[in-house]
């Protein structure tokens, strides 16, 4: 497995990480715990060293799963988790019913860190992201709280998620930001306008989540695909049957390249991301070993300059239909 460094932080991880959310949260009922532990350990055996979780996934159970699975190989892996929500029995972290309550007050950040350390069965969190920017707490205070945790050895690196450029700059001035995690793929390219240039200037790594468009860019989801009632894609405008039908052109484009490269559609989508910058580390999620192995194959898939130009030219003429989130959730991004 190739390695990459997240910007100037010195944090080195596998070129592809593993997003763990779907094992416990969002994409239907939680998966079998023993099977997911086997999958996580299988990922390590195949060279994956970068694992992404969050307290809100479940909530809490995803961190517990990751902690149990990776405890025997803790010295070989990098674990990222997140803070930023108030979690109660009645809270809705997806924001589908009025929106989650944000909380990035310094005392809350500390309490989340302490609890996450226990669930993850570790002495230090490798990368601690603010999950969403809290408009009620100055980002300088957030960065300062994480800086103190780093000084104490409880956290190693500071990250942000879905933050705007000015927020990133202000945070970085207090405590260097190792990585920004935000959505980025061939069907969500907004980070290219302002985010990527700023990250390159500041020496910050980029960790795209949903690099396969929540499964759509794999080519396995069509207009007639049905989702479990607990699958949050049923609430996303981009996943209505009409939007899926309209957006099929993007999948067809990837399929054309894949056929020529003797690869899969998903591998081309991930290889395209990896080719954008050497400090980009996508974190596709999966609950199946064969999909994990397929995704890993993207790391060695070489797209030439001509391939990339062809993809860009064709993609520029395709207008992706549907918003990526409902309005209430979208309000939490880009602050």
On whether residue 225 sits in a domain, the answer given is no
On whether residue 170 sits in a domain, the answer given is yes
Give the CATH number, domain containing residue 121.
Answer: 3.20.20.100
- pLDDT tens column, 261-275: 999 999 999 999 999
Residue 328 confidence (pLDDT): 87
57 a catalytic residue: yes
Residues contacting residue 15 through CB under 8 Å, at least 6 positions apart: 1, 2, 3, 4, 274, 281, 299
On whether residue 231 sits in a domain, the answer given is no
Has residue 92 got a pLDDT over 80?
no
Given 27, 57, 129, 325, the catalytic residue: 57
- pLDDT tens column, 35-77: 999 999 999 999 999 999 999 999 999 999 999 999 999 999 9
On whether residue 257 sits in a domain, the answer given is no
CB 284 within 8 A of CB 216: no
On whether residue 317 sits in a domain, the answer given is no
Has residue 28 got a pLDDT over 90?
no
Cα gap 186→165, rounded to integer Å:
21
Longest dimension (CA), the chain: 54
The domain total for the chain is 1
Give the containing element (helix H, strand E) for 69.
helix 61-70
Q: Please, which pLDDT band fits residue 91 given cuts at 50, 70 and 90?
A: low
Has residue 260 got a pLDDT over 70?
yes
Cα gap 329→316, rounded to integer Å:
26
217: Cα within 13 Å, side-chain hemisphere: 28
**How many helices and strands in the chain, by DSSP H and E?**
11, 9
On whether residue 266 sits in a domain, the answer given is no
On whether residue 67 sits in a domain, the answer given is yes
Predicted model pTM: 0.95
- pLDDT tens column, 150-186: 999 999 999 999 999 999 999 999 999 999 999 999 9
On whether residue 232 sits in a domain, the answer given is no
- pLDDT tens column, 224-246: 999 998 899 999 999 999 999 99
Domain range for 65: 3-213+276-301
Residue 273 confidence (pLDDT): 98
């Amino acid at each position: 497995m190739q390695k990459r460094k997240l910007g100037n932080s010195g944090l080195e991880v596998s070129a592809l990480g593993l997003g763990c959310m779907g094992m416990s949260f969002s994409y239907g009922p939680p998966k079998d715990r023993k099977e997911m532990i086997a999958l996580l350990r299988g990922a390590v055996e195949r060279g994956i060293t970068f694992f992404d979780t969050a307290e809100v996934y479940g909530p809490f159970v995803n961190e517990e799963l990751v902690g149990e699975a990776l405890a025997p190989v803790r010295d070989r892996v990098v674990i990222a988790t997140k803070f930023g929500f108030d979690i109660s029995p009645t809270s809705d972290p997806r924001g589908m019913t009025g929106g989650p309550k944000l909380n990035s007050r310094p005392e809350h950040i500390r309490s989340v860190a302490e609890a996450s350390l226990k669930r993850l069965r570790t002495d230090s969190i490798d990368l601690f992201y603010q999950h969403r920017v809290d408009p009620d707490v100055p980002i300088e205070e957030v960065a300062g709280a994480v800086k103190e945790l780093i000084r104490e050895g409880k956290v190693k690196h500071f990250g942000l998620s879905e933050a705007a450029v000015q927020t990133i700059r202000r945070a970085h001035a207090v405590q260097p930001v190792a990585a920004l995690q935000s959505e980025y793929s061939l069907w969500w390219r907004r980070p290219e306008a302002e985010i990527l240039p700023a990250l390159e200037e500041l020496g910050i790594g980029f960790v795209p989540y949903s690099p396969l468009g929540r499964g759509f860019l794999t080519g396995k989801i069509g207009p007639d695909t049905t989702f479990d009632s607990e699958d949050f894609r049923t609430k996303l405008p981009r996943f209505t049957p009409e939007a899926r039908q309209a957006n099929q052109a993007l999948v067809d484009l990837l399929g054309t390249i894949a056929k020529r490269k003797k690869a899969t559609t998903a591998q081309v989508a991930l290889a395209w991301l990896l080719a954008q910058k050497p400090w980009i580390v996508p974190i596709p999620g999966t609950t199946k070993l064969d999909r994990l192995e397929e995704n890993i194959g993207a790391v060695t898939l070489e797209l030439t300059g001509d391939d990339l130009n062809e993809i860009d030219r064709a993609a520029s003429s395709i207008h992706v239909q549907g918003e990526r989130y409902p309005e209430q959730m979208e309000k939490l991004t880009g602050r």
